[in-house]
């Protein structure tokens, strides 16, 4: 009995070893760097590995056959070589039909996998994705945009929260040049082209084996005091996600688009589907006041450069509204409603003294007028002269170096 048990145990270990070596787990580590994030991504991995072993098997077979032919049909002294046959019908049919059958299998399997990715199911949630030099934004079905940011590389990048086990149709467009939305964990890439829409269907599973699961800080105090939660601290903390588990997936641009192409990244955080409606409600602007809209816009788009304590790379927003400021051409203007709006739409027109320009012009497509009005109201709320500036005091045109507002 003991011998039989040991043999069975050894057999089980052998099967496990074979599974690790020849199965996807081992090859994920070698080729893919991590587990697939969805069933369609797993299908892509399985197809890749099937092609890999298919090619290996045929390579070995052909090399063995070649070695045999080299030895068996080598030229021998004083032996006249046989005349080669003009053709061999059975052989020619075999080497035509058999590879064709394999190629047909590869085509139809790949075609079905491709259609699953480009044709969205009827229950897919539609979101609008926009790319520009050099960032991404997603507009959710309720018109809201993500308010979260984190840091990858040299600068902050947006964070998009999406539900698990829910197909999502991305309607994608570029504001300037061609980009490519690439999610390595989904084995997906799609070009994002100016002046036309392209689409992609993404669907993240619940956490799969091998994925790292993170937990959103349960309280504001925990976010403030734990260094690993620094991005959730202060005004970026979202109570709707308190204690929620999530997985992270990186987004890159896979089409060279200019000097900061390598920094054009984002993070997708996948949360349980039951928490997604509450999250959308927390970032929505439909029923919010202009001041609340301004706070949301500041958190999601401006806080990484414009803080309210003077700690960031751009001019401080506290006490900016209603006060006079000096610019690089020697001019001085009062920051009233018109000046702030102009600074958002054309950030290089009037350059604040002592700063360099790193700010993207925020067109109507990127920042609707309703959001601009919200920003103005928020600036008023944190200024010692909120509402003191005369709305007619729009600045005269001036030319300055491209520096940050």
**DSSP secondary structure, 128-193, as one string:** EEEEETTEEEEE-TTS-B--EEEEETTEEEEEEEEETT--EEEEEEESSS-EEEEEGGGTEEEEE-
Give residue 14's pLDDT. 42
Give residue 179's pLDDT. 95
Residue, of 58 and 154, whose pLDDT is higher: 58
Question: Backbone dihedral region of 312: left (phi > 0), alpha (psi from -120 to 50 degrees) or beta?
Answer: beta
Give residue 105's pLDDT. 92
Instruction: Provide the pLDDT confidence category of residue 235 given band limits of 50, 70 and 90.
Output: low
Residue range 270-283: average pLDDT? 88
Average confidence score pLDDT of the chain? 79
Statement: residue 234 has pLDDT above 60: no
| Strand bridging mode 148-152 / 155-163 | antiparallel
Give residue 208's pLDDT. 76
Closest CA to 185 of 202, 167, 161: 202
Statement: residue 84 has pLDDT above 60: yes
Give CA–CA dist 74/76, Å, rounded: 6
Give residue 227's pLDDT. 78
Give residue 60's pLDDT. 96
Residue, of 284 and 200, whose pLDDT is higher: 200
Give residue 270's pLDDT. 93
Q: E strand or H helix at 245, and its extent?
A: strand 245-253
Percent above pLDDT 90 for the chain: 20
Statement: residue 321 has pLDDT above 60: yes
Q: Which residues contact 243 (CB under 8 A, 6 or more apart)?
A: 215, 216, 217, 218
**Cβ distance 233 to 223 under 8 Å?**
yes
Give residue 205's pLDDT. 86
Instruction: Provide the pLDDT confidence category of residue 5 given band limits of 50, 70 and 90.
Output: very low
Residue, of 71 and 156, whose pLDDT is higher: 71
Give CA–CA dist 148/232, Å, rounded: 8
pLDDT tens string 50-80 = 888 899 999 999 999 999 999 988 888 888 8
Instruction: Provide the pLDDT confidence category of residue 286 given band limits of 50, 70 and 90.
Output: low
**Cβ distance 35 to 211 under 8 Å?**
yes
Q: Which residues contact 242 (CB under 8 A, 6 or more apart)?
A: 216, 217, 218, 219
Residue range 159-185: average pLDDT? 91
pLDDT tens string 211-233 = 788 889 888 888 888 877 777 76
Rounded to two decimals, the pTM is 0.66
Of the candidate ranges 45-54, 97-106, 167-176, 328-337, the one whose mean pLDDT is the lowest: 328-337
Of the candidate ranges 46-50, 214-218, 356-360, the one whose mean pLDDT is the lowest: 356-360
Statement: residue 314 has pLDDT above 90: no
Give CA–CA dist 344/305, Å, rounded: 13
Statement: residue 42 has pLDDT above 70: yes
Helix 290-297 and helix 369-381: axis angle, to 10°?
90
Instruction: Provide the pLDDT confidence category of residue 193 given band limits of 50, 70 and 90.
Output: very high
């Amino acid at each position: 009995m003991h011998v039989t048990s040991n043999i069975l145990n050894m057999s089980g270990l052998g099967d496990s070893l074979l599974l690790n070596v020849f199965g996807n787990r081992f090859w994920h580590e070698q080729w893919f760097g991590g587990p697939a994030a969805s069933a369609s991504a797993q299908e892509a991995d399985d197809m890749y590995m099937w092609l890999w072993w298919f090619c290996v098997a045929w390579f070995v077979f052909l090399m063995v056959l070649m070695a045999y032919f080299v030895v068996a049909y080598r030229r021998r002294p004083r032996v006249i070589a046989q005349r080669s046959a003009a053709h061999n019908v059975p052989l020619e049919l075999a080497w035509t039909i058999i590879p064709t059958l394999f190629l047909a299998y590869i085509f139809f399997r790949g075609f079905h996998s491709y259609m699953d990715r480009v044709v969205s199911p009827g229950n897919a949630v539609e979101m609008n994705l926009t790319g520009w030099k050099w960032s991404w934004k997603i507009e959710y079905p309720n018109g809201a945009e993500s308010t979260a940011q984190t840091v990858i590389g040299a600068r902050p990048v947006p964070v998009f929260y999406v539900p698990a086990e829910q197909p999502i149709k991305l309607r994608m467009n570029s504001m300037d040049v061609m980009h490519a939305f690439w999610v390595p964990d989904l084995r997906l890439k799609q070009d994002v082209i100016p002046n036309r829409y392209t689409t992609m269907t993404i669907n993240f599973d619940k956490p799969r084996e091998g994925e790292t699961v993170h937990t959103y800080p349960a309280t504001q105090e925990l976010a403030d005091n734990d260094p690993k939660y620094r991005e959730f601290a202060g005004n970026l903390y979202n109570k709707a996600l308190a204690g929620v588990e999530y997985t992270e997936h990186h987004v890159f641009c896979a089409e060279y688009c200019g000097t900061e192409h390598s920094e054009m990244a984002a993070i997708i955080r996948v949360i349980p589907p039951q928490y997604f409606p509450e999250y959308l409600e927390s970032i929505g602007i439909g029923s919010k006041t202009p001041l609340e809209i301004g706070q949301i816009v500041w958190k999601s788009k401006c806080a990484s450069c414009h803080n309210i304590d003077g700690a960031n790379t751009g001019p401080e927003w506290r006490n900016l509204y209603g006060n006079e400021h000096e610019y690089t051409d020697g001019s001085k203007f009062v920051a009233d409603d018109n000046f702030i709006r102009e600074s958002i739409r054309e950030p290089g027109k009037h350059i604040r003294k002592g700063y360099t320009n790193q700010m993207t012009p925020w067109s109507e497509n990127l920042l609707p007028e309703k959001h601009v009005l919200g920003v103005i109201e928020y600036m008023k709320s944190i200024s010692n002269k909120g509402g003191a500036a005369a709305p007619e005091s729009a600045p005269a045109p001036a030319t300055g170096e491209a520096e940050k507002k």
